[in-house]
Structure 1
Amino acid sequence: MPQRGMQTAPDQKKPLAQLSQDQREFLDRALRVNQAGELAATLIYTAQTPPLLQSHPNLRSLMKHMYDQEAGHFATFNKLLAKHRVRPTAMYPVWKAAASILGWSTGVMGREASMACTEAVETEIGNHYNGQVRELFRWMQEIKSRGEEVDPELEELINTLKRIRDEELEHLDHAVENDAKQAQPYAPLTNVIRYGCRGAIWISERV
């Protein structure tokens, strides 16, 4: 993420682009929401895995793989928040409790419900990351059209978001492969989770 108050290096042929106040605020909100979302994901898997593995021990490696990736995402956004001095959401305690309850309850409901939970969450998160990537890519194109130099940190952030988005969508694919759509009741369960994710994103951007 570009530093605040960036200066043009004397040996650069093109001026290094500076972000507007609105763009910096967008990035602050994006990083705050992303960090909160990855925290929730780690807690969902942490609570979900023990009851799920009691009846489906064959899922141990898959659950560990998905958890490890989410933990890596969480660590990435923790570093970015610290680097750019972005405050975490004030809703941290609420999201921690909600994620743990969601993970445990769907884990108890069984494999299909657990995977339906993953499908619903990753659908919303994938869409959310896609929106961020599109917005940042638009900035990059505008910067280039003005004949300015794109800050390497902006390009790095776009690549990071794309990588994390792809890993989240990989989790969605795993969920569908493991009968997420066979969960009962599928539509009410996934709709509640998806609307809950949207609400959490909206609140975390502002609080």
Structure 2
Amino acid sequence: MASIPTLRRCMSAHLRRPIHQISPVLLDFLAPTVVRSQRRCATTGTDGTPKPRYILSKTQREFLDSALRVNQAGEIAATLIYTAQTPQVVRSHPHLRPLMKHMYDQEAGHLKTFNQLVAKHQIRPTAMYPIWETAATFLGWSTAALGREAAMACTEAVETEIGSHYNDQMREILSWEADAERRGEELDDELKEMLSTFRRIRDEELEHLDHAVANDSKEARPYDPLVDVIRLGCRTAIKISEKV
């Protein structure tokens, strides 16, 4: 898994990098308003006049900072869960090898995307990485040890929470888009692209949920306690990673 060592190097480089070497990201929607005010010209409105860019507030920029940090942490956990589950699951159920690989490959792609976004926007990764690494690996191994159904129940639980979390993030950004329209302004193209990325990844996560249900996740025993505990753990990890 090349992406995990890459994250470690990214975190180390971020912590070591002197402030004077960090150049301002002039075309970055996360940049301060004082910088963004230099580039308000955007697309043309219906009357032929330039449409100004929607300027994010400090709170909105902090929301995006938190969102990208949490999403990166979540995708790290997902790749580790599948890495720990796959050997046990495919040993007992060889026909699931293509499905497990497909889901892992998609999660690895998601992680690559968020690694790039976190590095590009100079966002601090979660300091909880060592703990999430251990927890995700244990969760994957232990649910696979309980059997195929429990492994799929784990996927169902995780993807239910992750899908809901992506929905919350998209709902927030869409509210900014609506506010921009009321003001006669427009979201930054990069922010629009990020919204599209969130939507695509959300859809792929929910696809995993469907695969889990189709492969008897609800037959896991004990189903309700297992799913409830995993979902609670996901919500807790999200809240912590938003801040730490």
What is the TM-score of this pair, normalised by structure 2? 0.83
Counterpart amino acid of 1:84?
Answer: H
Instruction: Tell me the residue number matched to 2:138.
Output: 101
SS of 2:191's equivalent in the other structure is helix
Matches within 5 A, 1:130-141: 130-141=167-178
Q: CA deviation at 1:9?
A: 5.4
Of residues 183, 187, 190, the one that matches 1:150 is 187
Q: 1:10 to 1:172 in 2, by over 3 A?
A: closer
1:2 aligns with 2:39: no
Deviation for aligned residue 1:145 = 1.1
Aligned partners of 1:150 and 1:113: how far apart in 2?
Answer: 43
Instruction: Give the match for residue 102 of structure 2.
Output: 65
Aligned residues: 207
What is the CA-CA distance between 1:194 and the residue it aligns to? 0.2
Question: Shift of the alpha carbon at 1:16?
Answer: 1.5
Cα deviation for residue 61 of structure 1 reads 0.1
1:8, CA displacement in angstroms?
A: 2.4
Letter in 2 for 1:8: R
Alignment of 1:81-120 (within 5 A): 81-120=118-157
1:10 Cα offset (Å): 5.6
Amino acid at match of 2:240: I
> Which 5+ residue runs of structure 2 have no aligned equivalent?
1-27, 44-49
Asked whether the equivalents of residues 81 and 140 of structure 2 are also in contact (C-alpha less than 8 Å), the reply is: yes
AA partner of residue 160 (structure 2): T
Distance in 2 between the 1:104 and 1:186 partners?
A: 17
Larger Rg: 1 or 2?
2
Moved over 3 A (4+): 9-12
Question: One-letter code of the match for 2:211?
Answer: H
Structure number with greater CO (CA < 8 Å, separation at least 6) is: 1
RMSD: 1.2
Q: Does 1:204 align with 2:235?
A: no
Amino acid at match of 1:24: R
Q: How many angstroms apart in 1 are the aligned matches of 2:242 and 2:205?
A: 20
Deviation string, structure 1 residues 114-138 (Cα, Å, up to 9, x no partner): 0000000000000000000010011
Compute the displacement of 1:15 (Å). 1.6
Determine which of 150, 156, 159 is the counterpart of 2:196: 159
C-alpha distance in 2 between matches for 1:113 and 1:193: 11
Structure 2 distance, partners of 1:26, 1:147, is 23
Q: Which runs of 5+ in 1 are unaligned?
A: none
TM-score normalised per structure 1: 0.97
In the alignment, which residue of structure 1 is the partner of 2:4?
Answer: none
Q: Residues of 1 paired with 2:173 and 2:81: CA distance? A: 29
Structure-1 separation of matches of 2:110 and 2:174? 21
Q: Distance in 1 between matches of 2:91 and 2:53?
A: 55
